[in-house]
Structure 1
Amino acid sequence: MLTALSIRNIVLIDALDLSFGPGLGVLTGETGAGKSILLDALGLVLGNRADTALVRAGEDQASVTATFEFGTLPALLQDALEEAEVEIEPGEPLIIRRRLKADGGSKAFVNDQPVGVALLRTLAGALVELHGQHDDRGLVNPRGHRMLLDRYADADVAGVAAAWEDWRKARSKLAAEREAIEQARADQDLLLAHLSELTNIEPQEGEEETLANSRTDMQKGEKLAGDLEDLRTVWDGSDSPLAALRVAARKLDRIAPEHPLLAEALAALDRAVIEAGEAEEKLQAAGEALQHDPLELDRIEQRLFELRALARKHNCQVDDLPEVMRGLRAKLDAIEQGDADLADLEKAERTAHEVYRARAEALHGTRVGAAMQLDEAVAAELAPLKLDSARFKTAVAEQPEEKWSAHGMDSVEFLIATNPGADFAPLGKIASGGELSRFILALKVALAEQGGAATVIFDEIDRGVGGAVASAIGERLARLANGNKGEGGQLLAVTHSPQVAARGRTHYMIAKSNEGTVTKTSVALLDAEGRQEEIARMLSGAEVTDEARAQADRLLEGA
Structure 2
Amino acid sequence: MLTHLSIRDVVLIEALDLALHPGFTALTGETGAGKSILLDSLGLAMGERANAGLVRSGAEEARVTACFETPASHTVYTHLEEQGIPADKGEPLVLRRVISREGRSRAWINDQPVGLTLLRKTASALIEIQGQHEQMGLADASTHRGLLDAYGIKPSLLKKVAQAFTHWQDLRQSLASAQQALEDAAREEEWLRHTVSELSTLAPQPGEESQLAQQRHALQQAERRGEAVAAALSELTPRDRRSSGPAAALRAANRALLRLVPSTTSDNMPPETDGLAGRIAEALSALENAENALAEAESLLSRLMADTEANPRELEETEERLFTLRTVARKHNVPVDELAALLAQLTARIHALDNGATELESLRKATEDSRLAYMEAAHALTDARALAAKKMEQAVTAELKPIKLEKARFLAELQPLSPEQWSRYGMEQVTFLIAANPGQPPGPIAKVASGGELSRLMLALKLVLAGQSGIGTLIFDEIDAGVGGATAAAIGERLHRLALNVQVLAVTHSPQVAASADAHLRIGKQTRNGQTATHAIALAETERREEIARMLAGDTITDAARAAAASLLDSKK
One fold, TM greater than 0.5?
A: yes
Q: Which residue of 2 aligns with 1:370?
A: 388
Give the deviation of 1:372 after TM superposition: 0.9
Give 2:57's aligned amino acid.
A
Q: Which residue of 2 aligns with 1:138?
A: 137
Q: Which residue of 2 aligns with 1:316?
A: 334
For the residues of structure 1 that align with 2:430 and 2:48, how far apart are their CA atoms?
29
Larger Rg: 2
- Alignment counterpart, residue 525 of structure 1, candidates 538, 542, 545: 538
Q: What is the RMSD computed on CA atoms of the aligned residues?
A: 3.4
Give 2:559's aligned amino acid.
D
Question: 2:125 is paired with a residue of what secondary structure?
Answer: helix
Give 1:372's aligned amino acid.
K
Q: Which residue of 1 aligns with 2:273?
A: none
Deviating more after overlay: 493-502 vs 439-448: 439-448
Deviating more after overlay: 514-523 vs 196-205: 196-205
Which runs of no fewer than 5 residues in structure 2 stay unpaired? 240-244, 251-290
Give the deviation of 1:229 after TM superposition: 4.2
Q: Which residue of 2 aligns with 1:12?
A: 12
Q: Which residue of 2 aligns with 1:189?
A: 190
For the residues of structure 2 that align with 1:64 and 1:84, how far apart are their CA atoms?
22
Give the deviation of 1:337 after TM superposition: 2.3
Give the deviation of 1:204 after TM superposition: 4.9
Give 2:48's aligned amino acid.
N
Are the aligned partners of 1:502 and 1:556 in contact in 2 as well (CA < 8 Å)?
yes
Question: 1:288 is paired with a residue of what secondary structure?
Answer: coil
Q: 1:205 to 1:68 in 2, by over 3 A?
A: closer
Give the deviation of 1:344 after TM superposition: 3.2
Q: 1:271 to 1:2 in 2, by over 3 A?
A: farther
- Alignment counterpart, residue 421 of structure 2, candidates 375, 385, 403: 403
Q: Which residue of 1 aligns with 2:27?
A: 27
Deviations 1:419-473 (A, max 9, x none): 2122111111225211111111122222333632110001111111111111111
Matched, 1:508 2:521: yes
Give 1:549's aligned amino acid.
R
Q: Which residue of 2 aligns with 1:117?
A: 116
Deviating more after overlay: 174-183 vs 3-12: 174-183
Q: Which residue of 1 aligns with 2:96?
A: 97
Matched, 1:126 2:144: no
Give the deviation of 1:316 after TM superposition: 0.9
Q: 1:135 to 1:116 in 2, by over 3 A?
A: closer
Give 2:151's aligned amino acid.
Y
Q: Which residue of 2 aligns with 1:257?
A: none
For the residues of structure 2 that align with 1:493 and 1:375, how far apart are their CA atoms?
25
TM-score (norm 2): 0.84
Deviations 1:151-199 (A, max 9, x none): 1103331221122222222222222222222211221111012223334
Q: Which residue of 2 aligns with 1:39?
A: 39
Deviations 1:231-276 (A, max 9, x none): 23356699998xx9xxxxxxxxxxxxxxxxxxxxxxxx99999997
- Alignment counterpart, residue 563 of structure 2, candidates 544, 550, 553: 550
Deviations 1:357-414 (A, max 9, x none): 2211111111101111111111122221111221111111222221111111111111
Q: What percentage of aligned pairs have identical amino acids?
A: 45
Question: 1:442 is paired with a residue of what secondary structure?
Answer: helix
Question: 1:97 is paired with a residue of what secondary structure?
Answer: strand
Q: 1:148 to 1:322 in 2, by over 3 A?
A: closer
Give the deviation of 1:3 after TM superposition: 0.9
Which runs of no fewer than 5 residues in structure 1 stay unpaired? 245-268
Matched, 1:429 2:455: no
Give 1:335's aligned amino acid.
L
Q: Which residue of 2 aligns with 1:463?
A: 481
Are the aligned partners of 1:450 and 1:456 in contact in 2 as well (CA < 8 Å)?
no
Give the deviation of 1:20 after TM superposition: 0.7
For the residues of structure 2 that align with 1:19 and 1:416, how far apart are their CA atoms?
36
TM-score (norm 1): 0.86
Are the aligned partners of 1:372 and 1:394 in contact in 2 as well (CA < 8 Å)?
yes
Are the aligned partners of 1:378 and 1:446 in contact in 2 as well (CA < 8 Å)?
yes
Q: Which residue of 2 aligns with 1:419?
A: 437
Q: Which residue of 1 aligns with 2:304?
A: 282
Query: What is the number of equivalent residue pairs in this alignment?
Result: 528
Give the deviation of 1:138 after TM superposition: 1.1
Are the aligned partners of 1:235 and 1:280 in contact in 2 as well (CA < 8 Å)?
no
Are the aligned partners of 2:417 and 2:427 in contact in 1 as well (CA < 8 Å)?
yes
